[in-house]
Amino acid sequence: MPIRLIHVSDTHLSRTHGYFTDNWRAFKAEMEAAPPDALVHGGDLSFNGPVAEGDLAFAAGEMASLGIPHRVISGNHDLPEEAAQMAALRDMLGTRGKRPVMLFMHMPPFDMDPDDPTRTTSVIPHPGRAALLDICVANGVKVICCGHLHIYRQMRHRGIRIIWAPATAMSTSSAACANAAASPAPAMWSGR
Please state, in angstroms and rounded to a whole number, the distance separating the CA atoms of residues 157 and 153: 13
* pLDDT tops 50 at residue 37: yes
Confidence bin at 168 (pLDDT 50/70/90): confident
- Write down the pLDDT at residue 48: 81
* pLDDT tops 50 at residue 159: yes
Please state, in angstroms and rounded to a whole number, the distance separating the CA atoms of residues 159 and 142: 7
Confidence bin at 175 (pLDDT 50/70/90): very low
Three-class SS state of 59:
helix
Express each pLDDT in 177-192 by its tens digit.
443 334 334 555 554 4
Instruction: Confirm whether pTM is higher than 0.85.
Output: no
For range 164-184, the mean pLDDT: 57
Express each pLDDT in 98-127 by its tens digit.
888 999 988 899 999 999 999 888 898 887
Residue type, 191: G
